[in-house]
Amino acid sequence: MSPNLVDDSLSVHTQSHDYPIVITAQNATAISDMAAQITPFISARQVLIVTNDTVAPLYLARLQAQLETQFTVAVCILPDGEQYKNQSSINKIYDVLMAQHFNRDVTLIALGGGVIGDMTGFAAASFMRGVNFIQIPTTLLSQVDSSVGGKTGINHRQGKNMIGAFWQPQMVLADMNTLQTLPARELSAGLAEVIKYALIMDIEFLSWLEDNLPAMMALDLEVLAIAVKRCCQYKADIVAQDERESGIRAILNFGHTFGHVIETHEGYGKWLHGEAVAAGMVQAAQLSHRLGWISDADVARVKRVLILANLPITPPPIALETALSLMGHDKKVKQGQIRLILLKSLGKAVLTTDFDNQLLTDVLSQQH
Active centre residues (catalytic): 129, 151, 193, 235, 245, 249, 253, 256, 260, 273
Spatial separation of the C-alpha atoms in residues 242 and 245, rounded to whole Å: 6
Sort residue 336 into left (φ over 0), alpha (ψ -120 to 50) or beta. Answer: left
Q: Which residues 6+ apart lie within 8 Å of 62 measured at CB? A: 31, 32, 34
Spatial separation of the C-alpha atoms in residues 158 and 39, rounded to whole Å: 39
Spatial separation of the C-alpha atoms in residues 65 and 71, rounded to whole Å: 10
Counting every residue written for the chain, the total comes to 368
Spatial separation of the C-alpha atoms in residues 171 and 130, rounded to whole Å: 16
Spatial separation of the C-alpha atoms in residues 250 and 238, rounded to whole Å: 9
Question: Can you tell me whether residue 32 is helix, strand or coil?
Answer: helix
Distances (CA, A) of 76 to 93, 169, 204: 6, 18, 42
